[in-house]
Structure 1
């Protein structure tokens, strides 16, 4: 496998230097060859590597190219914060530090290959070291947003059976409050300047740990990542991604050429800033795998809160060439009006996580002179559709299907619908399943089976495909709320609300919002004892209660008190009725 990687990186560099007209207009011959290649892989006519490890087979190869002077003088990693602190690592330094971190996990924390680690950290440099260290050691990395509460963390620890948790001094007290119920937890690692009783300190362990580490030889089907994703009913599900998912970004003439080069537009000379929270899968794919496969620099600004002025100033101050953020951020930026800023090096803008409004694309183009290339995907699949460089951009569309995915619009029975008809956005998985899809919902075969209809994996989104193959998003087919790119399951919010003594019943749905696209709205039936309470004060009380019980981003920004909720004959709440009312479809 090492020979394979050494052979392809120089060839890949040559491809990246080729003129962009190579793919102009989505060259049909190239596209057909890409699809043909992936068909042969999916049908087992071409053999995937038995072993693959992103750390040794990719990062260590860039390290060698860097030493040989065959990579531009870019850092591999560049981190800044609002206090003026700055961290820069070369691939050599990244390799050295991640090997130390791998030894800390194995020796100090006592973790073995296949063990699971929950990491709940903000955008600190250690998060990148830990993610690569886990890959080196064959440990399964489970990222979580730093907005998780004690209850959220407990659920994740119990469901995943993680043997180690890694967090900072802000969240350490929440972890300590649930320790009696964490029967699988063996080690606690803190990222902090000072010591804390009962915790191993990552920064102190660096000083006494060797960087001599031999990378584990991981099989392509071995689990690499687990992400928790919200569902419309029940608790969040565990999505398993194996090591082969990072290989799919490495195939030299196929995926990078189509995905990295012509959606992300990445080369070894680029500096990419992706603003995703570390708890979301977008951080893995756009702040680790895609840029480092390309030999690009990963740029990070550790902002506790999103502020348009800070974003604009950062794009002006630093030589960022590729910028990726959520549509909500673009909406806030164009409202702020960034036309007075000079983004001297910025050349390519990406968006994902939620639908992007055409008017926002138009205003961004007017204010910056740059297009926004939208991509669409899920935790389970990564990118499904995208607007590639060289394609005609149709504002409001998700772009076209990205190989190896065969995207279709189907009805509820699995039949492919004609162009122009609304249906379920789906991916063909029979007779062969794309190797780059998620492995399964861990310990949940029912949910794994439920997302399949006929020959297709159903995304849960509704859409339309036009005559040219562009996919247009219509809405969610279930009750998931996508607010500013955060996927929120109504069941989780309803479960939090019902714990308040004032709430007799509740139903949570999406409600339109000019900035976030949609927000959480709760319809609440009050308990008799609270019927005469001040509604404004009670609304604030309920919002604060939800923030304490579950992750704060899930709280209902709108609350409406009602006498009753619409229900079916069997007593099931009809969220769809309330959602349609909110969106003017009643």
Structure 2
């Protein structure tokens, strides 16, 4: 399958990959027809999805079944009035109906809007009105139903509500009854074009309402690199990415690139993340490839990993937050597996990564994905030298990379503020070492300016993580009359140190940071907390910590 979309599929070295990687983009590409239905034709019994949940239920779906169910879902959605260009929001957690639904929407040329189950009525109202959402397909769970119903009176664009169960509330359509009784699916007469909108993600910025990131129908092809050359998977792989389907990371690791490669996707549908349960799933189902944010690996290394048979696990990748070297070393020591870091945004696919031909440098994101023309730009507009900080930008004057977003929906001014004159400004600051590896510093608004120094939060967090008391931490800047800003550490303590929280431990941690990194970076302010504020995707919300400090809460 992958041969259809690349001029060359096997590479002998990183240089070979850089020079010869090229995506072939078919006309009117549609992932559901051209990949999933094609697998159903050539290998109907091949496993596509291995789904299990925390109640012990397990279902394997073949590609033939994926075609069958997505056809039935598309036919049902047609009956409900959904067609080309219509906006449909999916609030489906890790339910297998997500895969039926997103494929069905692709087949119809409709726009899929994945969303988290944590949305409040206010969040739903904003999204429905901002994107003119026509239908919501959701889990039939009390809290979600209550929030959707609470948003209806202020969401006039909504014409249909669909529940996948278990509850079937009044006024909602029954998904399973609908697909059971649907007429045979007839392909729409009007095919999608490559530059039609296929996906829309609401992604939170540091200020204002969430931005609406839109991707076209070629976007899945951008994830060939994600799956085949970062996750390093093949047709025999069973891949697990830890992500709720409401987050963009789900299509990075639970759909597009994996199925283009012919791998099976493993899904563990659970309510509460429990490290031991995830390890048990890897052991029981023989997962071969695993991707998760650093937060997950931090918890895994605190389990007794040696008591699990993880021999099936061959490759691990990590993204979402920069990787602390201490986590890398601990996981490698126990498992022998090197964590391969990657970086990207909702607006892009994987843009920087540690690829299979490389020796990872713990804490480095890796090198640029050859599908992008990337540069580091200093504040005065120069290309940064080695060792010099700069903003990661993507140039599109020579070619438009497959996977880069189309812009922010219905907001030309916002789009132009970051993507203009063939340059996309990521807003992320990094530096490059003499070997060409890139190191994350922080968001442009996360970088702390103290007494003339520019201090990236990640380098201080990495130093803190080498102290045994620290389970998790977040570095922010707090206003200071003399220095402009000083470094603040918000720390979650390990259980062995919780009863030692106090001035003595603060001084011990401060002294430790001064020894591990340049002394001017040490946190002058330290606060101990039970947990850090995070997004649904597991990213630390430094903006929330900064907001509390500024408002004096």
TM-score of the two chains, using structure 1 as the length reference: 0.75
Structure 2: distance between partners of 1:130 and 1:510: 44
Structure 2: distance between partners of 1:477 and 1:369: 35
Work out whether 1:328 is the aligned partner of 2:299: no
Please point out which of 3, 7, 23 is paired with 2:12.
23
Residues 331 and 515, structure 1, Cα contact 8 Å, conserved in 2: no
Which residue in the other structure is 2:339 paired with? 372
Which residue in the other structure is 1:86 paired with? 58
**1:124-143 alignment to 2 at 5 Å?**
124-143=95-114
**1:151-166 alignment to 2 at 5 Å?**
151-166=122-137
Structure 2: distance between partners of 1:374 and 1:168: 33
3-state secondary structure, aligned to 1:407: strand
How far off its partner does 1:280 sit? Answer: 1.1
CA offsets, 1:232-254, max 9 Å, x none? Answer: 221000000000112344xxxxx
Which residue in the other structure is 2:187 paired with? 214
Structure 2: distance between partners of 1:510 and 1:278: 33
3-state secondary structure, aligned to 1:127: helix
Change (3 A) 1:437 1:559: closer
Change (3 A) 1:236 1:219: same
Work out whether 1:241 is the aligned partner of 2:210: no
Work out whether 1:227 is the aligned partner of 2:201: yes
Change (3 A) 1:511 1:149: farther
How far off its partner does 1:432 sit? Answer: 4.1
Work out whether 1:65 is the aligned partner of 2:42: yes
Please point out which of 280, 283, 286 is paired with 2:250.
283
Please point out which of 132, 153, 159 is paired with 1:186.
159
Change (3 A) 1:164 1:394: same
How far off its partner does 1:150 sit? Answer: 1.1
Which residue in the other structure is 1:8 paired with? 4
Extract unaligned runs of 5+ from structure 2.
448-456, 462-473, 477-486, 495-528
Work out whether 1:272 is the aligned partner of 2:239: yes
How far off its partner does 1:148 sit? Answer: 1.2
Change (3 A) 1:298 1:6: closer
Which residue in the other structure is 2:324 paired with? 357
Which residue in the other structure is 1:301 paired with? 268
TM-score of the two chains, using structure 2 as the length reference: 0.79
**1:431-450 alignment to 2 at 5 Å?**
431-450=398-417
3-state secondary structure, aligned to 1:228: strand
Most deviating of 73-82 and 356-365: 73-82
Which residue in the other structure is 2:87 paired with? 116
Structure 2: distance between partners of 1:219 and 1:330: 40
Residues 226 and 349, structure 2, Cα contact 8 Å, conserved in 1: no
3-state secondary structure, aligned to 2:166: coil
Structure 1: distance between partners of 2:490 and 2:381: 30
Work out whether 1:32 is the aligned partner of 2:19: yes
Aligned-residue CA RMSD (Å): 3.3
Work out whether 1:261 is the aligned partner of 2:234: no
Bigger relative CO (Cα 8 Å, ≥ 6 apart) = 1
Question: How many residue pairs align between the two structures?
Answer: 478
Change (3 A) 1:169 1:561: closer
CA offsets, 1:188-223, max 9 Å, x none? Answer: 111113432111110111221134332662110011
Change (3 A) 1:331 1:6: closer
Structure 2: distance between partners of 1:327 and 1:411: 28
Residues 46 and 63, structure 2, Cα contact 8 Å, conserved in 1: no
Structure 2: distance between partners of 1:224 and 1:74: 26
Change (3 A) 1:276 1:7: closer
Most deviating of 325-334 and 202-211: 202-211
Structure 1: distance between partners of 2:350 and 2:493: 24
Structure 2: distance between partners of 1:176 and 1:266: 42
Change (3 A) 1:453 1:199: closer
3-state secondary structure, aligned to 1:23: coil
Change (3 A) 1:464 1:554: closer
Extract unaligned runs of 5+ from structure 1.
42-47, 68-72, 250-255, 491-508, 517-538, 567-577, 579-586
